[in-house]
Amino acid sequence: MLKCRLAGLLAKRGFINQFCCLTYKQLSWVDVQKRLLKTKNAPGSKLGTNPTSVDSVVVGTGNEVRIKPGQRLHIVNQLYPYTIQFKEDPTGKNSGTKRPRESASDDRESPREAQKMKAAKLTEKVPVLVNHGEAQKHTERGGLWSQGLKISMQDPKMQLYKDDKVVVIKDKYPKARHHWLVLPWQSIPSLKALCEEHCDLVKHMQQVADQMVQQCPDSSSLSFRTGYHAIPSMSHVHLHVISQDFDSPCLKNKKHWNSFTTDYFIESNDVIQMLETNGRVTVKEGATELLKLPLCCHMCHKELSTIPALKEHLKSHFPR
Ligand code: AMP
Ligand code: ZN
Q: Is 152 in the pocket of ligand 1 (CB under 6 A)?
A: yes
**How large is the average pLDDT for residues 303-309?**
98
Closest atom of ligand 1 relative to the 174 alpha carbon: 12
Spatial CA neighbour of 246 closest among 170, 169, 310, 181? 310
Atom number in ligand 1 closest to CA 179: 10
Catalytic residue among 179, 198, 236, 238: 238
Exposure on the CB side of residue 45, measured as CA atoms within 13 A: 20
Give the distance, in angstroms, between the CA of residue 81 and the centroid of all CA atoms in the same chain.
19
| Closest-approaching ligand to the CA atom of 301 | 2
Q: What is the mean pLDDT of residues 189-202?
A: 96
Separation CA 320–CA 316 (nearest Å): 10
At residue 278, the 3 state secondary structure works out as helix
Which strands, in side-by-side order, build the sheet including 53-54? 57-58, 53-54, 73-75, 80-88, 125-131
Q: What is the spatial distance between Cα 308 and Cα 260, in angstroms, rounded to a whole number? A: 17
Instruction: Give the residue, 102 or 153, on which the prediction is more confident.
Output: 153
Q: Is 171 in the pocket of ligand 1 (CB under 6 A)?
A: yes
* pLDDT at site 261: 98
Among the atoms of ligand 1, which is closest to the Cα of residue 250? Answer: 12
Q: For ligand 1, pick from 138, 149, 237, 281 the residue to mutate: most ligand atoms within 8 Å of CB.
A: 149
pLDDT at residue 10 is higher than 60: no
- Find the mean pLDDT for residues 272-298: 97
What pLDDT, on a 0 to 100 scale, did the predictor assign at position 32? Answer: 39
pLDDT band with cut points at 50, 70 and 90 for residue 144: confident
- As a whole number of angstroms, the distance between CA 215 and CA 246 comes to 19
Predicted local confidence at residue 64, as pLDDT: 57
User: E strands, the chain, where?
Assistant: 38-40, 53-54, 57-58, 64-66, 73-75, 80-88, 125-131, 159-162, 166-170, 179-184, 224-229, 239-243, 265-267, 295-296, 303-304
Give the Cα-Cα-Cα angle 27, 139, 8 (nearest 5 degrees).
50
For 219-254, the pLDDT digits (tens) are: 999 999 999 999 999 999 999 999 999 999 999 999
Q: State whether the beta carbon of 232 lies less than 6 angstroms from ligand 1.
A: yes
Q: Who wins on pLDDT, 263 or 105?
A: 263
Lowest mean pLDDT among 26-35, 184-193, 233-242, 257-266: 26-35
Q: Is 240 a catalytic residue?
A: no
CB-based contacts of 260: which residues, under 8 Å, 6+ apart?
Answer: 175, 225, 240, 242, 246
Average pLDDT over residues 49-67: 54
Residue nearest to atom 21 of ligand 1 (CA): 172
Q: Backbone phi, then psi, for 45, in 5-degree steps?
A: -95, 155
* Among 109-118, 206-215, 225-234, 249-258, the least confident range: 109-118
Model confidence pLDDT, tens digit, residues 77-102: 333 444 444 444 444 444 444 444 44
Query: Is residue 275 within 8 Å of residue 281, measured between CB atoms?
Result: yes
Inform me whether the pLDDT recorded for 7 exceeds 60. no
Quote the CA–CA distance of 258 and 244 in Å, as a whole number: 13
- Residue 302 CA: which ligand is closest? 2
Nearest atom in ligand 1 to the alpha carbon of residue 171 is 22
Which residues are within 5 Å of ligand 2 (an ion), measured at CB?
297, 299-300, 302
